[in-house]
Structure formats: structure tokens, C-alpha cells
Amino acid sequence: MSKLDKNSGASRREFLQAGLALTSASLAPIAPLSTALLHASSQPPTRKKPNIVFFYTEAQRWDALGLAGNALLKTPHMDRIGREGVVFSNSFCTNALCAPSRAVVLTGLYSHSTGALDNDALEALPADIPLFTDLLHDAGYQTAMCGKAHGPNGFKERRWDYYFAFNAPATNYYDPIFHESFAGKRGETRNYPGAYADDLATDRALAWLDQKRDQPFCLLLWHQSPHAPFFRAKKYLDLYNGVPIPTPNTFWDYTTRFPGKPKAFIDAKNKIGTMQTGDGVRCLEELVKDYNAGFAGVDDNIGRVLEWLEKSGELDNTIIVLTSDHGYFLGEWQAFDKRFMHEPSIHTPMMIRYPKAFQAGGKVEEMVLNLDVAPTLLELAGVPVPAHLQGHSVVKLAQGNHAGWRKDWLYEYFEYPRAEYVQPHRGVRTERYKFINYYLEPQEFELYDLQEDPAELKNLYGDPRYAAIQKHLVQRLEELRRETGDDGTVRVLDS
Ligand SMILES: [Ca+2]
């Protein structure tokens, strides 16, 4: 199996071109930015289209949510989105790492299809790959990115009417540095002493919303908390003081060498209290409390935007989406962070509030992916969905039509070794099973029956009772790779 072959990416281009050819009637080629902006000014007003607000949280696992029954964390504003909208209880990311996941959600394409494989993907995405926000912009939307962009070139070169963001895992929490631009015209890149980064990003988003406009808007408000180094909003500096934090059942598994886990999992340097870098965490209690306190601050800022939507009369004409770039280990197997394909790392919240399409209180149990956000928002906005996208709109699914929905999907992770030595792997998750292949030699495998073992405690790989299932999942992994144009050569950005 090849590892990090830095090939030209010809296969990716051929794959995309095949998809784009199918949609040439509905999707104009992406023009250079300057041309696009000229076109945008001549777009007719499309006032009847819905607005979009996309809250993309940082590392929010599915249960870091009041609505999910979290005993510690209160998230009244996030809960409101779910209560008044549709909640997807099985939402996953296809590559549990910041920059690649952000590229997936914006493009509707797998990491292997864009070249944005890992956090080292700093160059701009190839210009022939549109972001869904580019397509909305071309359809007459005003678009804004506020907060933590963290993707190839911070997506700075794309079609934003307003950009106030930073391209890093986290900016300084209390002396943040933001890059600002207005309709492609560069503004300042500077620090804001004393401002709390997420509050400032929200302030700027609200100021942008306040501007008079005839077009519908699409606001991406992507908060950074609780990314390491976990600085809290000041009002929460003593939140959870004195509250006991339970220890996960697998926390002490290291004393018995993590039964059933492969060497690739055991040797990863993602264990609490052992990594002496800026992203390292020192103890379980501190991690869990800081992680949750971060979302308390994010929830307040989401509440400010919901209040603006309500007061402006735009609430019910706005599609509100909340999901996260990936989940997070909170001490399971003593781990923190993400990257691996285990549930704490890949399972995210997903909810959409848009009463014109979805009844309040909707629940969807089918598996949805970060790949699905782009086609979903395009469909709801009445903008043609390019055929090359690898996700699927969840609109019909959320309206009760489950026919033909995916029963399994491909996971991929590439960044290695970096600080944590999490080996590259791929896998398949079905509604019941999970198969993981660490594909560097010597290869290793994990297989779980999530119905019998939702905590992924018993690795069934090689168990004769599961031979037929194992064979099927190995086959599906190769089929899913073929279907998504993954020819086995890991590519890098070639633009
Ligand atoms: Ca992240």
C-alpha cells in the first residue's frame, strides 16, 4: 500500500472533470475571483431565497450537548436549534482532523478527492473545486466567514463578501489575530488585545448581519473554543468548580496494555498527561471541565445570533445548521484529541432548523456525514447541486423519505507522524459494524459490533464467528474507495 506518494493528482482531476462534465448545464466553471466579483455585482436580487447561518463548532462530540443528555454541560441555544428543527443522531465526519474536515464540509468532497489530507495542507484548494459558498455567491448570496477557518489557505481566496477569520488551529484567545477582507479586497491582519476570540468573531458577524442588503446572506460562524489551550470566556473561569468528574471505564486500560487494541492504537501519543506540547493536556478533570466550559461560551455566542435573527424577523427565513468538524476523546483509553475512527472521535452533533422545510422535533437516525452539508444547503437554497459532490442532500431524509439512503460509508485519516503518531487508516462504518485498517506495514485491523458493543471494547477482527462480516467489510472498503475515486495513491495539493 502506498504511503504519501506525492503524485500529480491527475486522477483527482480526471475524477472531478468526469463529475463536472455531467453537470455542465447547471454549473458554470468557477471563474477567477476578480471575475467572479464583477459578475456578483450584476446578480439580480433574490430576496425570497432563505438565508443560511452555519455554526461549525470545534471538536464537539455528539454528546457534548444539553439536548443529548449531557449531565455537565448546558447548551440552551444549541438545544433550541435542535428542538425547533431536525436532530440527526448519527452524524459523522469522514476525516477527524481540523483542516481536512473543514475542507470536506465546504466542498462536499472526500479528503482524497481534494488533496486537503491533513493540517499540513496549507496551499489553496485547486481552483476547479468550488466551495458551496462560492456556488451560493454566484447564485446571488452574500457570503461571510467569521472565526476559525483553518483550511487550505484559510479559504481566503474564495468568494467572500466579508472575511474575518484566522487560519490556524487556534488564535490567541485573549490577544487574537484576525485577517479581514471585504469582497476580496484585503483589509487588516492584526491582533485585538483583550478581546476574547470567539466573542470578537461573533461581534463582527453580527455587525455584518446588521448591514442593509437586498440579497440573502450565508454566514459561516466558526468558533474556536474549546481547542487547546482551552482558555475560557471570563464569565466561566470558575464553572464546574467542585463538580466531580467520572473516570471512563477504559481510562486505566493502559495498565493491561489496552486489551484487543492494535499496536497502532496503543502506541499513539495521544494519552492524557504524557504529551508535553502546547496541545497536550495534563489531567482528566482539567480536560473535561475546560472542554465543556468552552462550549458554554460558544453557546452564549450562538444565542446572540439567534436573538439577532429573531429581532430582525429573519429567524424562520433562515436555515440554521449546527455541526462540528469532529468529535473528541475525553479520557476513553486515556486519550484526548481525535484522529482515530472510534466513536468519540468521529461522532458529531448535527441539527438543522428551517421550519419552511422541516417540522420541529424531527429525529433522523440514518447515518449522515459532513460530506452532506454542502449538497443539503445548496438544495435548500434552490441552487443546483453539482453531480461531482460525494455527499447527499439530507432534505428528503429529514422529511421522512429514507429510501435508498446510505448503509455504510468510508472513513480516512492521513496525518502521520506529527505530534501524536496516529497511523494513517481507512475504514467502513455500517449501521451496526465498524472495520478499521491501519494500512502501513505491518497492517493492523479492528472490527466492532456496535450493536453489541457500542463502547468498542471487543476487537472482533479475526474472530471466526464474524468471518463473513469481516469479509464483507473488507470488500466494501475497496468498493467505497473505488466509488469515490480513491485509487490508492495519496495525493497532495497540486494547484
Ligand atoms: Ca478541530
Ligand 1 centroid–CA 244 distance in Å is: 27
Q: What is the 3-state secondary structure (H, E, C) of 159-198?
A: CCCEEEEECCCCCCCCCCEEEEEECCEEEEEEECCCCCHH
Q: CA triplet 245, 228, 348: central angle to 5 degrees?
A: 70
Residue 240 one-letter amino acid: Y
- Cell 482558555 belongs to which residue? 231
In a 10 Å sphere around its CB, with 0-12 CB exposed, 13-18 middle and 19+ buried, how is residue 183 labelled? middle
Q: How close is the Cα of 370 to the center of ligand 1, in Å?
A: 13
**Residues 310, 376, 60, CA angle at the centre, nearest 5°?**
70
Which amino acid appears at position 337 of this protein?
D
CA of 171 to the centre of ligand 1 (A): 13
Joined grid coordinates for residue 225: 473554543
Q: Do residues 394 and 364 make contact, with C-beta atoms less than 8 angstroms apart?
A: yes
Task: Tell me how far apart the alpha carbons of residues 270 and 266 are, in angstroms, rounded to a whole number.
Answer: 9
- Using the mean position of ligand 1's atoms as its centre, give its distance from the Cα of residue 80 in Å: 23
- 229 CA from centroid of ligand 1 (Å): 13
Residues of the chain with pLDDT under 70: 1-47, 489-495
Please name the helix (run of DSSP H) or strand (run of DSSP E) that holds residue 438, with its range, or none. strand 433-438
Domain range 33-408, CATH architecture: 3-Layer(aba) Sandwich (3.40)
Q: What is the structure's pLDDT at 280?
A: 78
CA 198 to centroid of ligand 1, rounded, Å: 14
Q: How far is the CA of 176 from the centre of ligand 1 (A)?
A: 17
This prediction has a pTM of 0.91
Q: Give the whole-angstrom CA distance, residue 83 versus residue 118.
A: 34
* Residues paired with 427 in a beta bridge: 411, 436
pLDDT recorded at residue 219? 99
Give residue-wise pLDDT tens across range 263-285: 999 999 999 998 877 777 899 99
Q: What is the pLDDT of residues 314-369, one digit of tens each?
A: 999 999 999 999 999 999 999 999 999 999 999 999 999 999 999 999 999 999 99
Structural domain spans, the chain: 33-408
38 alpha carbon – ligand 1 mean position (Å): 34
Q: How many Å lie between the centroid of ligand 1 and the Cα of residue 165?
A: 15
Distance 265 CA to ligand 1 centre (A): 20
Q: What spacing in Å lies between the alpha carbon of 25 and ligand 1's midpoint?
A: 36
Task: Please provide the DSSP assignment of 261-306 as one string.
Answer: --HHHHT-S-BTTT--STT----HHHHHHHHHHHHHHHHHHHHHHH
- CB of 441 within 8 A of CB of 423? no
In angstroms, what is the span from residue 169 Cα to ligand 1's centroid? Answer: 7
Ligand 1 centroid distance, CA of 326 (Å): 6
Centre of ligand 1 to C-alpha 446, Å, is 24
Instruction: Tell me how long the chain is.
Output: 495
Give the distance (Å) from ligand 1 centre to CA of residue 215: 31
